[in-house]
A and B are shown apart, each in its own frame.
Chain A
Amino acid sequence: DAGITQSPRHKVTETGTPVTLRCHQTENHRYMYWYRQDPGHGLRLIHYSYGVKDTDKGEVSDGYSVSRSKTEDFLLTLESATSSQTSVYFCAISALAETQYFGPGTRLLVL
């Protein structure tokens, strides 16, 4: 298995609170991604990174921000969580931007 961990694995929070999810890799891969997975929508890209301090928006980036200060860590922040951000969040990594390897996911419930 690719060396990817996500923390926390589960989180319950209230509307309006900030939330930060962490993705950590031990593979030294250049590319890192954040997806959300929802019933009826499948996996959708939120943000991605192609290097330290290099990030870009994906398909569903509104309400999310990211940071990557080290190769191994990619943080996803919900500045003010809303109920529509209740989802399962997956981090993925890639060495060559072709195949991607996924982490175990974080289940987020926003009340």
Chain B
Amino acid sequence: QKEVEQDPGPLSVPEGAIVSLNCTYSNSAFQYFMWYRQYSRKGPELLMYTYSSGNKEDGRFTAQVDKSSKYISLFIRDSQPSDSATYLCAMSTPGGGADGLTFGKGTHLIIQP
């Protein structure tokens, strides 16, 4: 079963706040987990990529994977108005990326100045 759940929002927070974005999934075979950022009328942009469980940090962004709970998160520290976008989680199985990623429907994030 290929299913990924993601709250569509909108999620509105004040500038400088810590943002938490989440996805849950049902397929225990997923091993690769990604977060994409999509600005209005633009293509998705790869933000973070992790393999299996654990944390990965890149600047103000931290991706977290908990395979035991089938739950992934993206944290944004010191949020900025330029972070306002739709955030898509995506995942794939080993070698399964050859037939595409499974995406959440995206969370619309608004950072209020």
Cα distance, A101 to B49, chains bound together (Å): 12
Task: Report the Cα distance A101→B42, complex, angstroms.
Answer: 13
Beyond contacts A43-B101, A43-B103: 14 other A-B pairs, Cβ-Cβ < 8 A, are A31-B97, A35-B100, A41-B105, A94-B97, A97-B92, A97-B95, A97-B96, A97-B98, A98-B32, A98-B49, A98-B92, A99-B46, A102-B46, A104-B43
Offer 9 A-B interface pairs, CB within 8 angstroms, sorted by A: A42-B104, A42-B105, A45-B99, A50-B98, A97-B92, A99-B32, A99-B49, A100-B97, A102-B43
Q: How far is the CA of A42 from the CA of B87 in the complex (A)?
A: 11
Report B13-30 residues with CB < 8 Å from chain A CB.
none
The dominant DSSP class at the B interface is mixed
Interface flags for B21-51 (1: CB within 8 Å of A; 0: not) read: 0000000000010101000011111100100
Question: Taking the complex as formed, is A74 at the interface, i.e. its CB lies under 8 A from any CB of chain B?
Answer: no
Evaluate whether A42 and B106 lie within 8 angstroms (CB atoms) in the complex, with A33-B100, A97-B95 already known: yes
Q: A40-B105, A42-B88, A43-B88 are in contact. Are A102 and B98 (CB under 8 A)?
A: no
> Cα distance A31–B41 when bound, in Å?
24
A4 to chain B, nearest CB (A): 8
CB-CB < 8 A to B88: which residues of A?
42-43
Are B100 and A102 in contact, with the CB atoms below 8 A? no
Expressed in whole angstroms, the Cα–Cα distance for A51 and B109 within the complex equals: 37
Residues of B within 8 A of A56 (CB): 99
B47 to A: closest C-beta gap in Å: 11
Q: Are A48 and B43 in contact (CB under 8 A)?
A: no
CA distance A18 to B32 in the complex (A): 37
* A33: B residues at CB distance < 8 A: 100
> In residues 35-68 of chain A, which contact B (Cβ within 8 Å)?
35, 40-43, 45, 48, 50, 56, 58-59
Nearest chain-B residue to A45 (Cβ)? B100
Q: Which of A35, A40, A45, A102 contacts B45 (CB 8 A)?
A: A102
